[in-house]
Amino acid sequence: MRGFFDAPTKRARLETLERQISTPNFWDDSEKAQKIVQERSRIERALEGQEKFETAVSDAEVLFEFAETDNDSANELNGLIVNLET
């Protein structure tokens, strides 16, 4: 799980890759460049997924507070939990 939630390390790696990509001779070695661009894309997708997950958890916390007294919030919370499980 640490790999999924280790956003600071991922962001630092992303910054390193961005610096490499911005160098003038980056595309001189197209095979190496392609691998770096692919790694950047993987990290960006992982960070995006993590941000969506964290937002959903935060939303669930708020809905949980309201769910005790509001049926609509309880139903919305149930739907959110189902989405988090998949």
The total number of structural domains in the chain stands at 1
Supply the CATH number for residue 10's domain: 1.20.58.410
pTM, two decimal places: 0.69
- pLDDT at position 52 is 87
46-80 in b/e form (b: 16+ CB < 10 A) is beeeeeeeeeeeeebeebeeebeeeeebeebbeeb
Cα separations in angstroms, 84 against 5, 42, 54: 15, 21, 10
Domain that holds residue 55: 2-85
pLDDT tens per residue across span 17-48: 999 999 999 999 999 999 999 999 999 999 99
